[in-house]
Structure 1
Amino acid sequence: MKKLIFVYNGDSGLINGVMHYLHKRISPDTYPCQLCGIIYDGTSLNKDWLVFIKSLGIPTEFLHRDEYQRQYGKSALLWPAVLLHEGQQFKAVVLSADDFANITSLDILKQRLVEFLNREFPTLNRA
């Protein structure tokens, strides 16, 4: 089954999480994970984002870069990124780190994902 994997440009763990949170609050312009900056409201996921993700009609997974490496192996990709996988197999980059440099809002992120899904899965049943 195909799924979208969202990979954060940060490592997992409590200490890393606290450091990410503080960095986003103190110096958001230098925070290295545009994905986190867009989809999180402080410490929790944006409610509009959660509704949107559930409406996509395709499974999703959210991983930190170290979790991605443990689960799927090393990658030369830069993070953050959104990937298309089929099972354990990488299929395509949906949104690259370079793309995220131009994604400045939740609305733009949602639009880009819908464009990809409409192109790749024209018959996908979205809620």
Structure 2
Amino acid sequence: MSIERLTFIYDADGSLVGELKYWLGSWIGVAHCALCDITHHKFGRRRSFTACADQFGLPIEYLHRDQLSLALGQLTAGKLPCVVGHAAGGDVILLGGDALESLAGDVSGFETALRVALAVR
């Protein structure tokens, strides 16, 4: 199965209210998304993550939990945040919430983990 594109799915809502709610919740410790920790710092996207994502040479879509199609919602139900790989043979979760959590926001570790996940597909 050759992965043709990736979808990164945040365990947060993508509306303006959802973004603000997550941002405030993360500051006071009641909201957490391991993928957010990898891709963003407190004030925006990490440059190191953007450079990392560019190295994969695959189209990447970034979605929030309230932006999912029915099929993607069913695949990822209870497994957010995650990284999904899309191939002609179907969609697969490449990195789930536990794997992302174990990286503790480390962009370099994320790159390695995703390369390994892609290599075995």
- TM-score with structure 2 setting the length: 0.82
Partner residue in 1 for 2:58: 58
- Structure 2 distance, partners of 1:21, 1:60, is 23
* Runs of 5+ consecutive residues of structure 1 not aligned to the other structure: 121-127
Contact 2:14 2:64 in 1 (8 A): yes
RMSD: 2.1
- Following TM superposition, where does structure 1 have runs of at least 4 consecutive aligned residues deviating by more than 6 angstroms? none
* Runs of 5+ consecutive residues of structure 2 not aligned to the other structure: none
Partner residue in 2 for 1:124: none
Spell out the pairing of 1:108-127 with structure 2 (5 A cutoff).
108-120=109-121
Contact 1:6 1:81 in 2 (8 A): yes
Partner residue in 2 for 1:23: 25
SS of 2:63 mapped into structure 1: strand
Q: Report how many aligned residue pairs link the two structures.
A: 116
Could you tell me how far 1:106 is from its partner in structure 2? 1.8
Contact 2:79 2:97 in 1 (8 A): yes
Partner residue in 2 for 1:4: 6
Could you tell me how far 1:102 is from its partner in structure 2? 1.3
Q: 1:85 to 1:24 in 2, by over 3 A?
A: same
CA deviation profile, 1:40-87 (whole Å, cap 9, x unmatched): 0223110010011111111111100111236x4531342000001137
Contact 2:38 2:49 in 1 (8 A): no
User: For residue 111 of structure 1, what is the amino acid of its counterpart?
Assistant: T
- Structure 1 distance, partners of 2:33, 2:59, is 22
- Structure 1 distance, partners of 2:72, 2:95, is 19
Partner residue in 2 for 1:82: 83
Q: 1:90 to 1:44 in 2, by over 3 A?
A: farther
- TM-score with structure 1 setting the length: 0.78
Percent of paired sites with the same residue: 22
User: For residue 73 of structure 2, what is the amino acid of its counterpart?
Assistant: K
- Structure 1 distance, partners of 2:98, 2:25, is 21
SS of 2:73 mapped into structure 1: coil
